[in-house]
Each structure stands twice: as structure tokens, then as C-alpha cells.
């Protein structure tokens, strides 16, 4: 099986021993406390779950600037997006060397982790702009990821953590949320050697289904990991529980048995295009996948990135940056000429009119109105799950 990133073994930071975890929770009650933001909580979950192997905690300013500028930590580890804990208020922790982190996404703000503070540093305005420009390719606050990143605070709190729970993810998505450790173990148990990963924050229509099958066939995969983001999204994106139900129905009806793992991970969407695609590759390498599908406008938003920027960035990496391989995909759609789903690059004799193409707005409007989507675009069983959601939304 493919090695984890930068390590011979996964390095999950979740405290698995129940007695030790209970002792740490008791200790945490007497520690200074910090209510962290959602991004820092998601980073903690990813650290705990092994997806951020081999990191041991939140980065300091030197590593943050190095990752932003060079995509490596100060000691040379390839890493595309800083892992941060930022705040605007350090009054409760100013002189502390060990603190309890409170979860902003669960009622009552329970303790999610303990952090040893190695440094508390101030990010200047110029540094913040530079970091954002490098990660997102823009400082435009209309970009949802940029706006969120700007809001996280000027103080950077660095140091290792011990994760004490997985926030709301394992409670709200018990059938879907999986750690990198669990996925790697299941892949090993299945005896899969070559595994294709598909990243999604959206439901999967017919084109996505066929793309997974095309990629699997092209690389001779033993199985497919459909790996959905379960964390925070921008307004208008479809909630995780609806996506989960739609994807599971598609896999149940339209994939051969025991060829697909449907799982999810606890992270907030960055909408960082190329840099986020690189981070997605790190996650999937840590799960044991050998290939990641990187499609048109992967992890993008609006028109901030070119359609294939997220593929091109992989070509700029040193050969030893990542072990996972990339399956570069074009936009896929139903060809009226060929009577099947194809990648557009494989149909040079086609015009736009030769494909069944629907905009996101058109799809939403049709579903909200109770109109059936073309079967060439979406499987009817999947479309009905989405239709129920949009009709409920329209009624509220």
C-alpha cells in the first residue's frame, strides 16, 4: 500500500485510550480555555484523524509563511496550506503554556482538544495579505475562502495538540465519517492495492458516476473511495446529509457490489482551487489511495481559477513531494452523438449542442419546481432525493 505523507506510519493525534482521554478531559477543566473558530476546529479533527500526517499540531509564523510562499514547512516537508489556530483575543491564554480548546460547532462549546503553546505570534496586515494571495491567488473578499481567512484573527497560536473528540462529525454522520486510519485499515482488509479517490462537496450526477468508472478502469483500480467533505460550506451548497443520501443511492444502484467505499471527512471547504487540490491529494495519500481524480475547476469557486489550474499545479511539484498519482479529468457530459457519457476532450468533433449540459441554477430551479432532470444528466433515484430537498427549501 502507498505510504502516508512524509512518514512511515500515520500519526493521528486522537487520544484512543479511554482512561487517558478521561484524565485529559479532567485536566482540561482547570486549564485556560480558548473558543476556537470553525477552521481551527476542523484542523484539529484532521490532525486527530491522521489526515494531516505527519503534522503534530498548529503551525507557527515561520512555517506559515514558508508554506504559503514555498509549499514546504521550514524543515522541508511538502505542505500546501497552513494548519492554523488563530484568534483575535488572547486575554484568557496570554501567559499559559497549556490550554483547552473549545469547539465552536457543538452546543455548549465542549472541550475538543488540549494544546501545548509553543508560541503566540502576531500576523501583520502585510503578512496576512501575502499568505492569502499565495494560498487563494486573490485577496478579493468576495471570494468565500478569502473572506473567511481574513476573519480568523491576528494572533497565531502554535503548538502540538491532543484531540479528545471528533466534534459533531462522528455523531451526525456515524455511517460516513471515517478517519484516515479507518479508511487505510479497510482498504488493507479488502486487499485493494490500487485505489482511486473522488473528492466531492456536491451530489454526484451521472457524469461524476461515469468519471469514477472511467478513472478506475484507466488505472486498473481495485476499488474507488468516494470521499465527501462533511464540514462547513458556503451558503447555497447542498447540506452533507442530503449529499450523503444521494451518493449512497447512486452507489447502491449503479456500481458493482463491494467496489466503492462511501466515506466522509471533517473539514471545512476552503475554495482555494489549486492549493486545495494539493491538500486533497495529501489527505488521500494518507488514506492509502494511489490516485486522486482532479477534475475541471477542482475546489474552485466563481471564476477565480482557470478550469485546469488545479491540475497544472501538480506539474510544478518536485518528484518527491507526493507519492499519490493524479488522474486528470476533463468536464464530463452525456454525448447525444455517442449515446454515453464522455470527457469533452475525447470528443473533439462535438459542439456544445451535442452534449446534455445544465447549469447549477437550472438544475436547482427544475428540482424546486418538481421537474424531472434528464436521465442522461442524473439518475432518477438520485434526482428525487435532491428534489425533495429543494422543494422543502422552497416551502420554507
**What CATH architecture applies to the domain 18-167?**
Roll (3.10)
Residues 6+ apart with CB under 8 A from 167: 41, 42, 44, 45, 103, 105, 106, 112, 266
Q: What is the mean pLDDT of the chain?
A: 96
* Dihedral over alpha carbons 348, 350, 352, 353 (to 10 degrees): 180
Rounded mean pLDDT, 71-89: 98
pLDDT, residue 236, reads 80
Helix, strand or coil, per DSSP, at residue 68: helix
Of the candidates 295, 137, 276, which has an alpha carbon nearest to the alpha carbon of residue 204? Answer: 295
At residue 374 the predicted structure's pLDDT band, cuts being 50, 70 and 90, is very high
Q: Which residues pair with 355 in a beta bridge?
A: 335
Q: Could you say which DSSP state residue 40 is in?
A: H
Question: Domain 177-265+271-395 belongs to what topology?
Answer: Rossmann fold (3.40.50)
Map grid coordinates 471564476 to a residue: 303
Are the CB atoms for 2 and 285 separated by under 8 Å?
A: yes
Q: Is the pLDDT of residue 387 over 90?
A: yes
At residue 381 the predicted structure's pLDDT band, cuts being 50, 70 and 90, is very high
Q: Which residues are catalytic?
A: 201-202
Rounded mean pLDDT, 109-113: 98
Alpha-helix runs per DSSP H in the chain: 18-29, 38-48, 61-70, 125-136, 144-150, 169-172, 180-190, 206-219, 240-254, 274-287, 309-312, 360-368, 380-395
Q: How far apart are CA 47 and CA 61, in angstroms?
A: 18
Domain ranges within the chain, ordered by starting residue = 18-167, 177-265+271-395
Rounded mean pLDDT, 126-133: 98
Q: Cα–Cα–Cα angle for 233, 158, 108, nearest 5°? A: 50
pLDDT, residue 289, reads 98
The string of pLDDT tens digits covering residues 265-285 is 999 999 999 999 999 999 999
pLDDT, residue 102, reads 98
**DSSP secondary structure letters along 171-186:** HH-TTTB--HHHHHHH
Predicted TM-score of the model (pTM):
0.96
Amino acid at each position: 500500500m502507498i505510504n502516508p505523507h512524509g512518514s512511515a506510519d500515520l500519526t493521528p493525534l486522537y487520544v484512543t485510550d479511554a482512561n487517558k482521554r478521561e484524565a485529559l478531559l479532567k485536566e482540561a477543566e482547570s486549564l485556560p480555555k480558548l473558543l476556537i473558530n470553525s477552521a481551527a476546529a476542523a484542523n484539529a479533527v484532521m490532525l486527530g484523524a491522521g489526515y494531516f500526517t505527519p503534522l503534530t499540531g498548529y503551525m507557527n509564523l515561520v512555517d506559515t509563511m514558508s508554506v504559503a510562499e514555498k509549499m514546504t514547512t521550514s524543515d522541508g516537508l511538502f505542505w500546501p496550506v497552513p494548519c492554523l489556530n488563530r484568534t483575535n483575543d488572547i486575554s484568557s491564554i496570554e501567559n499559559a503554556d497549556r490550554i483547552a480548546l473549545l469547539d465552536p460547532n457543538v452546543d455548549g462549546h465542549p472541550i475538543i482538544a488540549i494544546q501545548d503553546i509553543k508560541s503566540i505570534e502576531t500576523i501583520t496586515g502585510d503578512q496576512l495579505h501575502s499568505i492569502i494571495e499565495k494560498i487563494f491567488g486573490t485577496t478579493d473578499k468576495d471570494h468565500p475562502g478569502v473572506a473567511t481567512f481574513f476573519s480568523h484573527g491576528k494572533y497565531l497560536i502554535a503548538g502540538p495538540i491532543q484531540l479528545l473528540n471528533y466534534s459533531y462529525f462522528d455523531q451526525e454522520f456515524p455511517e460516513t465519517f471515517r478517519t484516515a486510519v479507518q479508511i487505510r485499515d479497510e482498504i488493507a482488509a479488502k486487499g485493494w492495492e490500487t485505489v482511486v479517490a473522488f473528492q466531492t462537496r456536491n451530489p454526484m450526477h451521472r457524469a461524476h458516476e461515469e468519471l469514477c468508472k472511467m478513472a478506475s478502469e484507466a488505472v486498473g483500480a481495485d476499488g474507488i473511495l468516494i470521499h465527501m467533505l462533511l464540514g462547513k460550506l458556503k451558503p447555497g451548497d447542498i447540506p452533507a446529509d442530503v449529499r450523503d443520501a444521494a451518493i449512497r443511492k447512486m452507489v447502491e444502484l449503479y456500481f458493482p457490489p463491494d467496489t466503492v467505499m462511501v466515506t466522509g471527512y471533517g473539514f471545512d471547504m476552503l475554495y482555494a482551487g489549486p492549493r486545495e487540490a494539493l491538500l486533497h491529494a495529501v489527505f488521500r495519500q494518507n488514506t492509502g489511495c494511489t490516485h486522486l481524480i482532479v477534475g475541471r475547476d477542482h475546489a474552485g469557486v466563481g471564476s477565480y481559477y482557470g478550469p485546469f489550474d488545479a491540475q497544472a499545479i501538480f506539474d510544478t511539484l518536485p518528484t518527491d513531494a507526493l507519492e499519490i498519482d493524479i488522474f486528470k479529468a476533463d468536464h464530463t457530459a452525456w454525448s447525444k452523438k455517442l449515446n454515453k457519457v464522455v470527457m469533452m476532450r475525447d470528443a473533439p468533433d462535438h459542439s456544445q449542442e451535442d452534449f446534455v449540459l445544465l447549469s447549477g441554477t437550472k438544475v436547482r430551479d427544475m428540482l424546486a419546481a418538481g421537474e424531472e432532470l434528464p436521465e442522461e444528466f442524473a439518475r432518477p433515484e438520485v434526482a428525487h432525493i435532491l428534489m425533495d430537498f429543494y422543494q422543502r427549501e422552497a416551502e420554507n
